[in-house]
Amino acid sequence: MMTESNPSLYVRLGGYDAISAVAANLLPRLIADEQLGRFWRHRGTDGMERERQLLVDFLCSASGGPLYYRGRNMKLTHQGMGISEDDWQRFLAHVSATLAHFQLAPREAAEVFEFVGSLRHEIVE
């Protein structure tokens, strides 16, 4: 149980607005990447906004926040996309750059990477 003296990762990250800012910084990095951009090539504006909101909801929920993630699970969401280990490593590099951009403290950055890393087996084919 999280208490005031032991706040959740969600609280330590700065809550909804901070997580939303991270998603707003990360997604353009991924889309602009010459290798990873293929995953968004045929997405419309509305689809991109929905994806950004799902990412925010997922991150808020997974970090102990009050939001409920209504999207599909990670395995189903990424199934058939052909995400390789090289894609995964490029993704992690962009996550690292985004966290550095926001000067995330080492403890919180490590927790974010631990959580993101735990999803690898559901995403990489």
Distance of CA 116 to the CA centre of its chain: 7
What is the secondary structure of 44-79 as a DSSP string?
-HHHHHHHHHHHHHHHHHHTT-S----S--HHHHHT
Among residues 65, 64, 46, 53, the alpha carbon closest in space to that of 27 is found at 53
CATH of domain 9-123: 1.10.490.10
Supply the pLDDT for residue 57: 96
Please give the average pLDDT of every successive group of 10 residues along the chain, which has 125 residues. Answer: 78 97 96 96 92 94 93 94 98 97 96 94 96
Supply the pLDDT for residue 6: 86
